[in-house]
Structure 1
Amino acid sequence: MTKTAAIIGGGVIGGGWAARFLLMGWDVRIFDPDPEAERKIGEVLANARRSLPGLSDVAMPDEGQLTFHETMAETVENALWIQESVPERLEIKQSVYQTLQEHCLEDAVIGSSTSGFKPSELQEKAQRPEQIVVTHPFNPVYLLPLIELVPTEKNSAEVIDKAKEIITSIGMYPLHVRKEIDAHIADRFLEAVWREALWLVKDGIATTEEIDNAIRYGFGIRWAQMGLFETYRVAGGEAGMKHFMAQFGPCLEWPWTKLMDVPEFTDELVDLIAGQSDAQSGHMTIRELERMRDDNLVGMMRALKQTNYGAGALLNEQDKRLGKPEVVVDKPIVTVARAVPLDWTDYNGHMNEARYLQAFSDATDRFMEIVGCDAEYITSGGSFFTAETHIRHIDEVRAGARIRIETTCLMGEGKKMQLFHQMYEDDRLIATGEHLLIHVSLETRASSVPADHIVAMMEKIASAHAALPRPDGVGRSIGGKK
């Protein structure tokens, strides 16, 4: 059964929450009195549809239904999760909770996107304080996985566990902040860096662009995959963290920062910061900057998937939860179902030809797994090598498009396996790939007969597929017909 999330406040953060839930298969109901809310959320959603599905290498859930509502009462109807993202004014938030709790399910989780208020402050005037927690995200919510989950002693273990389960189910990471504190955890780091950066600009030591370069070309990338403490542990070499702290600990007493001394926010300082920022990025629109940001984040996180590290490990776990298409052998087998990632496209704005081969290679790998040539079997010393490939590029496909590869086994006997892959976007044929594979011994690197269970499964599928209509394009040569 489709689950429902209610979004109260559809700004940048609320829109990001809506996109995250919607693309993870939830129905989403939105309340926002802004007459431009539908347009603004539609633009955020367009960016999310373009980028988020590309983080998964398996089929995403079917997108949920998005609706806009005139009242909060109507919005929260049957919602299991309610995300409040209204302006950062305590009296507004407390008033919103009073209205929500008059109409929402008593076991719904009410999460606040607040970056500044503690949950005890949010709960002060609530009918059911145990229902309210802080669930502080990071922009863009539809891509970045961190959620700071901050409860109080009034929240039961069951409420906390439910919040963690739902956050995890939509591909995010619930960081359980066990004691409430102003600005939670991550924003305290950001505030410290922000204060130091203001001084560096004010004192004429660096421009806004130079400070950004120091982060994005250096420790920012390092932090993205290791965080702070693990980075410093590595910096300590073989001796580890103790050596690092012994070596660099005295630096804490040196006048390296002005973190406890905040510059006055004068008009001159604001103009200086704003002017340098305009010079740095003013040539790009906000949407262009967002797309650039999204492209970079997807590329970094997909790279982290390959090493199963940091955010990449979270994405791989989400792929496992989403699962693989069901195998039905009496028709072409769906071996790949996924979206085209941003980093699969080229200068023409469509999928690069090398990625067609990668997609068909992934389909072959999945078919090998289906017939029993899986990771365990390969470790034992047997595998299939591709001997010949022919790909036809029939139509173009762009980033974010959901593709499906259906595989027909044309031959499966002895050492040989011949596969014909057909790539579709919905019912539109995009490309075909015909592949001849030979079973080999990884010890001798010579052709060999597969194990009996693989031969039996190949023959079973090949026999079933022989009764199907022969796919168009089988045996095609370049520029020819057959």
Structure 2
Amino acid sequence: MTQTAAIIGGGVIGGGWAARFLLNGWDVRVFDLDPDAEAKLAPVLAQARRALPSLTDVALPPEGCLSFHTDLAEAVSGVTWIQESVPERLEIKHKVLAEVQAACPDDAVIGSSTSGFKPSELQDGAARPGQIMVCHPFNPVYLMPLIEVVPSPHTDPALVEKAEAILRSLGHFPLRVRKEIDAHIADRFLEAVWREALWLVKDGVATTEEIDEAIRMGFGIRWAQMGLFDTYRTAGGEAGMRHFMAQFGPALKWPWTRLMDVPEFTDDLVELIAGQSDAQSGHMTIPEMLKARDDNLVAMMRALKANDWGAGAVMNAHEAQLREGTVLGAHADALDDVTQPILTVRRAVPLDWTDYNGHMNEARYLQAFGDASDRFMALIGCDADYIATGGSYFTAETHIRHVDEVHAGTLIEVRTRVLAGADKKLHLFHEMFDGTRLLATGEHFLLHVSLETRRPSEPAPAIVHALARIAQAHAGLPVPEGAGRAVGQRP
């Protein structure tokens, strides 16, 4: 059953929330009195539709339904989640939250995107304080995993658990903040860095560009995969954090920081920073910068995903949820009907899979068909646990035909059939589709091999049984077009 989220405020942050819910199959109602709300949200949705599907190696659910509302009671009626993203003024938030609670279900999660207010401040005077919590995101919400979940002592613990479970189902990483504190956790770090950066510019020590280079060429890269404390732990060598603190701890007493003070925002300082910022990146439009940002985020997060590390581990967990209960996560024994080619890949083509012509790179066809073979192996029981016992299938021969164009964002499906499967041999034929449009075919011949002797060997009986069932079911299918072809062979 499709669930519904209400987004209160359709700005940059509210739009990001709307995109994250919508692209994960939720129906989304956006409440915003701005008559141009739909037009302003459109580019955010376009960016999200381009970038978010590139993160995962399995397709997201079909999009939910998006609607726009100027009646708040209508927007929140019967919904599961309400995300408040109105301006950072407490009196506005109190007014909106009161109207929300007058019309929404008692068991709906009410999250606030506030970066500064504590939940107890939001709950002050509320009809049901236990329903309200802070769910503070990071921009772009449709890509960044972190959500700071901040309850107060009055927040219903069951609703907090519900909120965190929903966030995980969307591919987010809910970080429970133990105590209420102004600006929560992450923004306190950002505030400290921001203050010091303002002084460095004001005092003429560095330009905005030089400060940004110091971050992105240095500790910014480290922090993306290790954070602060793990980075310093490794800096301590084999002795770890204790050695690091003993060596560098005394430096904290040196008077080299101005973090407890902030420069006055004079017109001169504003013009200095704005002028340097224009010189730094004024050659790019904001949409161009946002596109580059999303492309880079996708590429970096996919690298982390390959190592199951940091934000990448969150993405892998989300993928496992997407596969659960589908043929993409099932064993052959769980499939009632195997008489037709079996779905082995269903995913959007990532941004980094395309070449200079904007087409899917040749190597990625092989990856997609290789993923299909891997999925089929797992389907018949040749999974990671089996491979750890010393047996696996090795690819001996591959032939790929490129039939039609494929571009980034295309939702591809690979359907696999067994041309032959007995003893040590496995002969697979893959067809890649965009809907009903055939894009490519891949033919793989594999041999079961002992990882100890590195020679062909008999598979385990369970694999033989599962493979034989599918091979027999596929034996009656007509030979697919292109099977057995060689390079350059005429039709």
State the TM bucket, normalised to the shorter chain.
over 0.9
1:358 aligned residue: 367
Contact 1:473–1:481 (Cα < 8 Å) also in 2:
no
Taking the TM superposition and a 5 Å limit, the aligned residue runs for 1:214-363 are 214-323=214-323, 325-326=326-327, 327=335, 328-363=337-372
Q: TM-score, normalised by structure 1?
A: 0.98
Aligned-pair CA distance for 1:424: 1.0
Structure 1 residues 191-229: Cα deviation after superposition (integer angstroms, max 9, x where no partner): 000010111111111111111111111111111111111
Q: Aligned equivalents of 1:351 and 1:36: distance in 2?
A: 36
The one-letter code sitting in structure 1 at the alignment partner of 2:27 is: D
Q: Aligned equivalents of 2:277 and 2:231: distance in 1?
A: 30
Q: Which runs of 5+ in 1 are unaligned?
A: none
Aligned-pair CA distance for 1:66: 0.6
2:330 aligned residue: none
1:51 aligned residue: 51
Taking the TM superposition and a 5 Å limit, the aligned residue runs for 1:130-209 are 130-209=130-209
1:90 aligned residue: 90
Q: Aligned equivalents of 1:307 and 1:6: distance in 2?
A: 35
Q: Aligned equivalents of 1:197 and 1:453: distance in 2?
A: 63
The one-letter code sitting in structure 1 at the alignment partner of 2:120 is: S
Q: Aligned equivalents of 1:160 and 1:22: distance in 2?
A: 22
1:115 aligned residue: 115
Q: Aligned equivalents of 1:174 and 1:450: distance in 2?
A: 43
The one-letter code sitting in structure 1 at the alignment partner of 2:96 is: V
Q: Aligned equivalents of 1:332 and 1:481: distance in 2?
A: 26
Aligned-pair CA distance for 1:420: 0.6
2:443 aligned residue: 434
Q: Aligned equivalents of 1:122 and 1:236: distance in 2?
A: 43
Aligned-pair CA distance for 1:237: 1.1
SS at the partner of 2:479? coil
Count matched residues: 482
Aligned-pair CA distance for 1:76: 0.6
Percent identical among aligned pairs is: 69
1:101 aligned residue: 101
RMSD: 1.3
Aligned-pair CA distance for 1:449: 2.5
Q: Aligned equivalents of 1:268 and 1:10: distance in 2?
A: 34
2:390 aligned residue: 381
SS at the partner of 2:205? coil
Q: Aligned equivalents of 2:432 and 2:339: distance in 1?
A: 19
Structure 1 residues 396-441: Cα deviation after superposition (integer angstroms, max 9, x where no partner): 2222221110001101122211111001112111111011112222
Structure 1 residues 18-60: Cα deviation after superposition (integer angstroms, max 9, x where no partner): 0001111111000111222112211111111111112111231
Aligned-pair CA distance for 1:283: 1.3
Q: TM-score, normalised by structure 2?
A: 0.96
Runs of 4+ in structure 1 over 3 Å off = none
Q: Aligned equivalents of 2:391 and 2:380: distance in 1?
A: 13
The one-letter code sitting in structure 2 at the alignment partner of 1:181 is: I
Structure 1 residues 278-299: Cα deviation after superposition (integer angstroms, max 9, x where no partner): 1111111111111111111111
Aligned-pair CA distance for 1:352: 0.8
The one-letter code sitting in structure 1 at the alignment partner of 2:290 is: E
1:13 aligned residue: 13
Q: Aligned equivalents of 2:490 and 2:414: distance in 1?
A: 22
